[in-house]
Amino acid sequence: MKIFLDTADTNEVRKFLDAGLVDGITTNPTLIANSGRNLFEVITELSQMVMGPISAEVTATDWQGMVTEGRKLAKISKYVTVKVPLTFDGLKACHALISEGIMVNVTLCFSSTQALLAAKAGATFISPFVGRLDDISINGMKLIEKICNIYANYPSINTQVLVASVRHPLHVVEAAQLGADIVTIPTKVLEQMIKHPLTDKGLESFLNDWNSTGQSIL
C-alpha cells in the first residue's frame, strides 16, 4: 500500500522523504490556505521534491471552470493530479481531463455509488473520506470495503482507492487489510505509526547495557 502525505508543508514532506516513506502528496484549499503560500509555488516545490502524484484541487464548481483550472494546474508538472469534487460537474470535468491524459483525483466521496460513477468517468484515484463518516456515526472503513469489493469485480476498472480523512493509525491498518491502494495521512498520523512505547523502552535498556561495557563501535 502506498502512503501519501496530506499536507502543503514542504518542510514536513522533506522530513519523511529521506526515509523513503512518501509515495505522493495530497493538498486541498484548506491546507494551501494554512501554509500561507501561493498555490503554484507550493505545488511546484512539492513536484520537484516527490517523484509521485501531487494532488492539487480546483476551486471552480462548474465543469468548464474545473477543466480550465485543471489544465493550468497540470502544466506545473507531469506529477500533478487534478483534484475535483464528486459532483456531476466534477465527474464531467474528470472525464474531460482524463481524455487529455491528465491524472484526476475525485475527492469528497461518501458512498459506493459515487465511487462506481467516478470509476466510470475514468478517475485515476477515488478519495473516500473515512474520518468524516466516522464523525457522523457511520463506519467509514465499511465504505472502503464496499468500494474495494466492487472494483475487484471488474478488472477493467483502473481507479485506485485512496483512503482519505484518516484520523489515526488504526484507519491505516484497516485500509491495508482491506486492500486499499493508498492512504493519505497527516504527518501526525505517520509519526504515531512509527512510535511504540515498547520500542523506546527496549532501546533504552539496550543502550544502558551497552554503555555499562565501556565499549565503542567507532
Q: What are the mean pLDDT values of the chain's consecutive 10-residue runs (218 residues total)?
A: 97 92 96 94 96 97 98 98 98 98 98 98 98 97 98 97 98 98 97 96 95 92
pLDDT of the residue at 113: 98
In the chain, domain spans:
2-213
- Among 15, 72, 78, 83, the active-site one is 83
pLDDT of the residue at 108: 98
pLDDT of the residue at 179: 97
pLDDT of the residue at 64: 98
pLDDT of the residue at 203: 96
- How far is CA 168 from each of CA 80, 175, 182, 183, 201, rounded to the nearest angstrom? 27, 11, 15, 11, 22
Residue 75 is among the residues annotated as catalytic for this protein: no
Q: What is the DSSP string of 158-184?
A: --EEEEBS--SHHHHHHHHHHT-SEEE
**Rounded Cα gap, residues 169 and 34, in angstroms:** 24
pLDDT of the residue at 115: 98
pLDDT of the residue at 141: 98
Strand residues in the chain grouped as ranges (E) = 2-6, 24-26, 54-57, 80-85, 104-109, 125-128, 160-163, 182-185
Task: Identify the three-state secondary structure at position 10.
Answer: helix
**Rounded Cα gap, residues 41 and 39, in angstroms:** 6
**Rounded Cα gap, residues 119 and 109, in angstroms:** 12
Nearest C-alpha neighbor of 8 from the set 50, 38, 40, 42: 42
Q: Please state the pTM of the whole predicted model.
A: 0.94
Sort strands 160-163 and 24-26 into parallel, antiparallel or unpaired. Answer: unpaired
- φ, ψ for residue 128, nearest 5 deg: -75, 140
Find the length of the chain. Answer: 218
Strand residues in 61-178 grouped as ranges (E) = 80-85, 104-109, 125-128, 160-163
pLDDT of the residue at 68: 98
Domain 2-213 belongs to what topology?
TIM Barrel (3.20.20)
